[in-house]
Amino acid sequence: MLAAQGDLGQALGWARERDLSVEDALSYLREFEHITLARVLLARYTTERAEQSVHDAARLLERLLSAAEEGKRTGILVLQALVHQAHGGISDALAQLERALTLAEPEGYVRVFAGEGPPMASLLKAAAKQGIARNYVRRLLAAVSGAEHNRPVKQALIEPPSERELDMLRLLGTELDGPAIARELMVSLNTMRTHTKNIYAKLTVTSRRAAVRRAQELDLFSQARSRQP
């Protein structure tokens, strides 16, 4: 839940508290925790483009799948497909998705796919174009679409960030500290702090982490990127 909400710091903190790593000995009793660790690693790659995270997630899932092969864990295959998709391996993603669909269709599973939201919808559309499990994929796409329509509508800002504040938001989404951000923007630390306060006020948040999460919800980072030379 923390990873899905964009609270990556706390999600990684949870993994540390549980003493989880990709090198752990695997067991059925801790399988769910390790699958969750893979989700956190995938979220880190999606948010920070940390290459090692996606490689670690892929390696962990491969180990989990090997350990659970007799149990035919559909959820692991689904997550593997998303990892491949995130890293640009569409062919591998579709291959894993097809394996998951083959296992899931006789049981009529829906939530394991629909719960993954837009990334899964994109992958299912690609599967439909290739004629993979046509009727089942059509049903799953309808379920994903229904889940999206039922999500809360994003609240628009009364006053949007200025162009300078969009630049600041983009940097708040990195690992740079305050002085480094000020140097990047070529402003004083006090000016940087003023920009930060204005951003917090406009986004109605009280922390850097919350500001980044709110900016992601409103797709403000894409606006900042589109302005870069």
Confidence of residue 223 (pLDDT cuts 50, 70, 90): low
Residues 44 and 8: beta-carbon distance below 8 Å: yes
Give per-residue pLDDT as tens, 147-175: 554 554 445 566 778 888 888 888 888 88
Instruction: Show the tokens assigned to 105.
Output: 């269709």
Q: pLDDT at position 124, please?
A: 94
What pLDDT is attached to residue 227?
A: 47
Average pLDDT score over residue span 35-61: 86
Please give the torsion angle defined by the CA atoms of residues 57, 8, 76 and 123, in that order, rounded to the nearest 10 degrees: -90
Is the model's pTM score more than 0.85? no
Share of the chain above pLDDT 90, in %: 14
* Structural domains of the chain ordered from first start: 8-149 (1.25.40.10), 163-226 (1.10.10.10)
Angle at 175 between CA 170 and CA 180, to 5 degrees: 80
Residue among 46, 44, 21, 43 at smallest CA distance from 34: 21
- What is the reported pLDDT for 28? 64
**What tokens were used for 155?**
């609240």
Residue predicted with more confidence, 70 or 77: 77
Q: Mean of the per-residue pLDDT values for the chain?
A: 82
CB 133 within 8 A of CB 101: yes
- Is the pLDDT higher at 71 or at 99? 99
Query: In the structure, what pLDDT confidence band is assigned to residue 229 with cuts at 50, 70 and 90?
Result: very low
Per-residue confidence band for 214, with pLDDT thresholds at 50, 70 and 90: confident
